[in-house]
Structure formats: structure tokens, C-alpha cells
Amino acid sequence: MKLTSLRLVLVALLVIVAISFLGGTAMWRVLGFGDDLSIDGRAETVREAPVQLGNGWSAYGGDEGGNRYSAAAQIDRDNIDDLETAWIHQTGAFDGREAARHRASFQTTPILVHDALILCTQFNEVIALDPGTGERKWEYDPQVPIDGRPGNEFTCRGVAHFAPPEPTDGACQARVFVGTVEAELIAVDSETGVPCREFGDAGRVQIEPSLALRWPGEFQITSAPVVFEDVVITGTSISDNLRTDAPLGTVHAFDAVTGAPLWKYNPIPWNADGDTRVGHANVWSTMSVDSERGLVFLPTSTASPDYFGGERPGNNENANSVVALNARTGEVVWAYQIVHHDVWDYDLPAQPGLYQIWHDGAARDVVVQVTKMGLIFVLDRDTGEPVIPVEERPVPQDGVDGELLSPTQPFPVRPEAVVPDRLDPGKAFGVTLWDKMACGSKLRQLRQDGLYTPPTVDGTLAYPFTGGGANWGSAAFDPSRNLLVINMNNVAQSVHLHPNTEAREATEIDHDAEFAPMEGAPYAMSRKPIFSPLGLPCSAPPWGVIAGVDVARGEIVWRRPFGTTKDLAPGGLALNLGMPSFGGPAVTGGGLIFIGASMDDYLRALDVETGKELWKGRLPAGGQATPMTYVWNGKQYVVIAAGGHGKSGTRIGDHVVAFALPD
């Protein structure tokens, strides 16, 4: 989703500034700022955080359950003003790859393994750094080609670590797994970076080697694999909306030592009659593991194509679902569907959070799933049944000819959606009357019946847009306060279906243009954010928010605009309008939230109790990644990848930045 149009024009910003000084609150409301999303509350401590969460960062999500929480408390609310840059490491990822610079996003979150900080670059290089100095210890480069066009950019969000319980002699006693843009799973020695020769073919396993692709990169791995005992499990990322006979969204499990295949799970078994072949429902985001229960939790995506489901009748069970599998066998233990028969690209983008909430004096293990729609589902870890009740509510009908919509969709009774799903044309945003009227006119031309309004030929409002609500950055959880911390986007999008007689050939698909042929379906699709003539979103600010949600009570405790115009506006004008964000938060025992993500180049520290900003540190490039924290030799560090996000138009780089308190 291209957001580079958010590079605000000078005249618009000058008008905004003039109005802010001269017009007062009443004028802001006239211009569309009337719907204030802010909630000012304070999260309460309910218990001590569980000891087992520790102060390291052993997996992409902090721990195997994705808590993104560290007990480290050396940096706290009293000394946060003293935080300073400790070291900066440049990976050199673009050396010899400048041609791919703006097709890449540095989204990695490092993990701490023994005496090394290990991460992957945009081009699937694996690098180990000294945790205290940032100096390079070793690197491995799989030499992925850059002449392809990956459907989801060149990116690698993280790696996974495996250490056998009973070490043997030789290399690769412990190993690091990484997936690639070529859909290979690679194992390297965690001490040296040398490929583990006994794993697959000299350290590599090709996912679906016989798959016929339209181009290199149609089928790739973007998120970190997960490990259960001696089983390594990976999903895949597949280009959306190209064709109905798209690759299947199969999840693969391999022996972590030999690379031998162990099991496969296809989320869409309802195509097994052989008369129709429906693809996708893949797991492109991050999975979670509960080692005690022996379960792996999958956030599945939409069946192909995303915007027309007439060829795939029914609810498409286990697509758009949280699916709990036996991690040893791949058998389904339970599944809970979040969206029935999805035709909105509302796949599950975030890691299922395996949290322990404290309610009525007792602990309860839950799975929390945040969504693109701004809704939050809280499920029982053992059964998948909702802990906070969910209602099946009627949703808009009358889709295009041949569509078979679900009459209802699941809605949690609480909390309310973190971002709105309706946009009154009369309250369209604009910094001038002309701008506002133009936005109102655009919105009136679109069908808008609330969440789950079906795509149409004449045009439909998609709000929130397909970038969320929530996205791959996922959420963080403070177990001492039952507090889920999540950043979400608040941008509108128009979606049009085009009869296939008007569609371009599939070979002309351009992901940046947001046109897709949906070959094999009776319609093609186009979509784009809804902007004013001055290049600003037609939805009123904030265009990005961050919220703290008590998941035991199902209540939004606080919610605030998140991100400024600092690195988008001419002259560096930093208006606190709230900006779209990609990347997620991390929470610490020091009562702090650390988050980059927004379209200005900062790492921020917020008060976990209130969400108020306490500190921000300047980054050399966009921080569209999730930070992590750890304690090394008695000192706490906070680390973030600062390399920008190609589709968002933020500053591109190859930096890994660590912050710490001065000695």
C-alpha cells in the first residue's frame, strides 16, 4: 500500500498552522477534527509479572508466545530522559543492491542468543552482533537475487533459534533458521554463521520446489519461523489477487536437525473435491508456540482472490482464523474464524498473543488476536472459545453478481473497535473548504454501510483500509496490568471491482499501482487510499493511534494520536496529527513502552500506565520495525532496526541502533 502521497504539500501545512493559531477549536471542528479518539485513563497494577518472561529476547516476539515484554527495569520513568545512543551498526545490505533500495523494508527484530544479537537484513542476510558494542561477529549471505519482484517487498522480519537438548560433537550444535524471498528455509550455525550441511541440501530446504510461479517472489517467506522442540515450522507469503489458481497456503514443518519434512497443514481443505482449486489462506505473519501444551497457533489469511468469493462458497473455514495445531503432528486441535467468507482482504496480520491474564484473583491462559478491523478477540487457550463474548451480527449484503456473502460476522461485545469503521462525508477532513468539499464528494460516490460493506463495481469505502487497524507489528502485553498495547492505522480506502473484460493482462500487474487482475474470477480489482486534492487523507486525524486495552475487562484504558509529520512535511514541521505506522511496541518492567513504527524517524518511550510520551530518540532512517530490549553485562539496551519502509516512502537505510543509559 503506497502512502508516499502523505508527503504533505507546503501550502496545506501552512494553512494548517495558520488555522491552529487563528481559528481555535471551533475552526478545527469545522475542518473535520471534531471526532476526538483520545481516551485518558490509567492502567492499574493487578499482580507481579510472571518470572518466566525474564529480561532477554529469545524469539521474534520476545518469547515464543509473542508477549513482547521484558522484565528489564534498569531504564524506567525516572531516568528515561538520560537515555542516549549506545551504538549504531550499518549492515551494508545495499552494497551491490542499490537497484532494489526502494523495493525493500527493514522490518527485522533481533533476538539475543547466548553472546550474540542475531538479525536478518532486507535481503535475508543473517548477521550476529556483539550485544554491548554492535560490532559484527559473523554474517551469512544467501545471495538472493534482486531482479525479481516480491509481492511483499524484500524484507525479513526475524529469525528463529534452535538448540538441541542433548548437544553432540561437531558444528551446528545450535542453529539459526531464516526464510528467504525464494521461499527457502536455511539453517546456519549460531556460533559461526556457517550453513548446517546436514540440514536439507547443504543447509537449505526449498518450500514447494515443484510449484509453478508467475515470477520469482510470487511465493516467499517474510516472517520468522518458529521452533517446537526439534520441529521447525514456517508459513509463506503469497502475492495477493493475481489468480484464483494461486499457490496453496500450506504450512510446513521440518526436522530441525535434518530438514526432513514432518507434516503439512493446508488451511482450506474444503477444496479437496478436485472440481475447484482455491489457493492462499496462507500464514504470512508470525506464528506462536505453547511448548507446555505442544501447540502452534496460526494466524491464517484470506482465500484467493481477496475481493471476490463466488468461486469459494461458504464461510471458507480455517481461512481468516486462529488455528491451533498439534505442533508434533500438524493435526487441528481447534480453530476460531475471525472473518467469514472474506472479500475485504481482512486477513489476520498479527501474531496470536499467548498471554496470561489475571481475573478475579486467578490466572487464565488466553490467545489474543488483534485485527485489521480494529477489533480484538480474546480466546481460551485450550478450547478456542471466546473469553469475552462474541456476537454474530448482521452485515451488509447485495454484493456483485455471483458473490455469496456471509449474512453475519463475529463482533466481540467489548472492547469497542480501537479505530472507527464509519466515515461521515459531512465530516470529511480538509484544510480548506475546497479540500473538504472535494473529500466529501469522493466519499459520497462510494457505497458505505459500515464494516463489511461488500466490494462493488461503482466503488466501496474500505475503512479501516487493508493496512489496518493492526498489522504485522502485532501487540505487546504487560502481564502485571492485563494491558494490551497496540498501534493502529485510521485511513480510508476505495475499492472498485472491474468486469474481467475491462481488466489488464495478468502480466501487467503492478503491486505499487494497486491493480490486480484476479485471473479466473469474473472481476479485477483496484484500490487506493482516499486523499484530498492537497494530498491529505479524507479521514480526519489522527491517522494513527496507540491504545492500552485491559483484556481482562475488555476496556480501552487509554488511546492517543501516535506519530507526527516531522519527516514528511517541508521544513520538518512536526504536527502531532497521528500518522500511519508499521511495526509494533515492546513493554518493559520499567513501566515503559518502546515503539518506532510511525512515519517520523524516532524511537519513542511512552508511559505504559497512560500512553503519554516521555522521551524520543532520533533515528538515522525510518523505524518501521518492532524494537527489543535485553540486559547485557548488567546494562539494559533497547535496539531497533532503522531502515525505512519502501511502500510508505520513509527514509531508507541499513542501520541497527541501540540505546542505553550513560555509564
With beta carbons less than 8 A apart as the criterion, state whether 202 and 195 touch. Answer: yes
Phi-psi group of 45: left, alpha or beta (phi > 0 → left; psi -120 to 50 → alpha; rest → beta): beta
- Cα angle 127, 130, 135 (rounded to 5 degrees) comes to 75
Q: Which helix (H) or strand (E) element contains residue 298? A: strand 295-299
Tell me how crowded residue 386 is: count the other CB atoms within 10 A of its CB: 17
Tell me, rounded to whole angstroms, the distance of Cα 428 from its chain centroid.
28
Active site residue 512: no
3-state secondary structure 508-558: HCEHHHCEECCECCCEEEEEEECECCCCCECCCCCCEEEEEEECCCCEEEE
The letter for the amino acid at 586 is: A
Measure the CA dihedral 213/214/216/217, to 10°. -90
Assigned C-alpha cell, 9: 504539500
Q: Who's near 156: CB < 8 A, 6+ residues apart? A: 107, 108, 120, 121, 122, 123, 124, 178, 179, 180, 222
Q: Establish whether the linkage from the previous residue to 415 is cis, with ω within 30° of 0.
A: yes
Read off the C-alpha cell for 421.
Answer: 469503521
The strands making up 353-359's β-sheet, listed across from edge to edge, are 353-359, 362-370, 376-380
Q: How many whole angstroms separate alpha carbon 418 and alpha carbon 68? A: 20
Cβ contact 12:431 at 8 Å: yes
Q: Which three cell numbers stand for residue 179?
A: 526464510
Catalytic residue among 342, 345, 347, 550: 345
Pull the grid cell for residue 626: 518492532
How many CA within 13 A on the CB side of residue 348?
30
C-alpha 343, offset from chain centre: 20
**Catalytic residue list:** 345
